Structure 1
Amino acid sequence: MRPLRYSINVTLDGCCHHEAGLPPDEESMRYWTAEMERADALLFGRVTYEMMEAAWRRPATGSWPDWMDEWEIPFAEAIDGAEKHVVSSTLDEVDWNAELVREDLAHAVRRLKQEPGEGLWVGGVTLPLALADLGLIDEYEFLVQPVLAGHGPTLLAGLRERIRLELVDRREFRSGAVAMRFRPARAAE
């Protein structure tokens, strides 16, 4: 069974708005590119899908926009070409290598996890909360930014039950950001 990984940038005070942390730099983009490349498919809610598509879909011209730095292009290519599954009850259709998921969330994600491969990746705010409540996230990855945002959506706000995690990996960046990877702790036997 392939694992479902939840990955997101988060500030020290728990804000996970995409503009709250430090602007991406070459080191963090290399990190996120590697994360995209180790996922067989991406799982998005509507808001995250639309935001990512607006930022990272290859333009119809075939050329990446001038505002994009050379070191951002590998990430753009990885996310642009990735298989995507979009959970939405409001969208009528999706494209950008995507399929619309309308069935029961737990059933749909269990089905996707049963497919062969290295893993699924989910980002965003609302969908990961629902998946965490269902106990379907196998790995949590937070890139903690050395910033206090003071406002904005917070990480997994409204989680029904506490989830105990075990640290399995940690990496420090020159910017002061720290990537931490956790797995749900196993119950004492």
Structure 2
Amino acid sequence: MARSRASGSKVQSLVKGAGMQRPLRYSINVTLDGCCHHEAGLPPDEESMSYWTAEMQRADALLFGRVTYQMMESAWRRPATGVWPDWMDGWEVPFAEAIDGAKKYVVSSTLSGADWNAELVRGDVGRAVQQLKQEPGEGLWVGGVTLPLALADLGLIDEYEFVVQPVLAGRGPTLLAGLRERIQLELVDRREFRSGAVALRYRSGGVSS
């Protein structure tokens, strides 16, 4: 634990000395009782998919852990024929095209390679992500559960966006479970959906004792 805290402090010191840099945004669906399993909330609809399409389009690149990368690839990679499958509704296509064409970075120590417009990230993930943040652009986006927890512990996430679903799951993985320190957040945007879901966007104020 002491080693991890020291690593986090080192990365945060790099952040403070880096000056202006593109922000790292974390977005995820979460139920009212904190479950972040991807099937726990409401099924996607045209309004929610339009929202997530915009999130993909405003990111210079996407960051995934291995599990999330493989799950997204299996669902949203364009078929070799170039034609989207019949099961996909027309309002899902813009999201599919946005995520399919996006630049991706995959954090994994087990994958031997990654395609789908993706590069592997190995070694010190904190230092690697900090280097990505220092490159020019509008922002980075991270999804999933395990990788965002590690990046939050390192103080590398600048914005948190939770699309809160009007559902009580009663089970499943909970959002950022195991976070070592409390992180103070500032609400900067709020949007309500017809489904009853609410998107809440927060700016990180850093670790709070």
2:94 alignment counterpart: 74
Q: Is the 2:155–2:207 contact (alpha carbons within 8 Å) kept by the matching residues of 1?
A: no
1:94 aligns with 2:114: yes
More helix by share: 2
Give the 3-state SS of the residue equivalent to 1:166 in structure 2: strand
Q: CA RMSD in A?
A: 1.1
- How far did residue 66 of structure 1 move? 0.6
2:4 maps to which residue? none
**1:51 aligns to what SS in structure 2?**
helix
Taking a change above 3 Å as real, the CA distance of residues 61 and 115 of structure 1, as seen in their structure-2 partners, is: same
Residues in 2 aligned to 1:30 and 1:179: alpha-carbon distance in whole angstroms: 13
Match of 2:48 in 1: 28
Post-superposition shift, 1:187?
8.4
Residue 116 of structure 1 and its aligned partner are, at CA, apart by: 0.5
Which runs of structure 1 show a deviation greater than 3 angstroms over 4 or more consecutive aligned residues?
Answer: none
Shift of 1:77: 0.1
Paired position in structure 2 for 1:60: 80
CA–CA distance in 2 between the matches of 1:33 and 1:153?
Answer: 25
Structure 1 counterpart of 2:199, one-letter code = A
Q: TM-score, normalised by structure 2?
A: 0.88
Matched AA of 2:63? L
Aligned to 1:157: 177
Instruction: Give the alignment's TM-score, normalised by structure 1.
Output: 0.98
Q: For 1:173, which of 177, 190, 193 is the aligned residue?
A: 193
In structure 2, relative to structure 1, the CA distance for the partners of 1:156 and 1:65 (3 Å cut) is same
Q: State the AA in 2 paired with 1:153.
A: P
| Partner AA of 2:171 in structure 1 | H
Q: Percent identity?
A: 85
SS at match of 2:182: coil
1:143 maps onto 2:163 in alignment: yes
CA 1:158–1:72: 2 relative to 1, 3 Å: same
CA distance in 1, matches of 2:207, 2:111: 39
Structure 2: segments with no counterpart, 5+ residues: 1-20
For these two proteins, the number of residue pairs brought into alignment is 188
Provide structure 1 residue ranges, at least 5 long, that are not aligned to the other structure. none
Q: Larger C-alpha radius of gyration, 1 or 2?
A: 2
Equivalent in the alignment of 1:11: 31
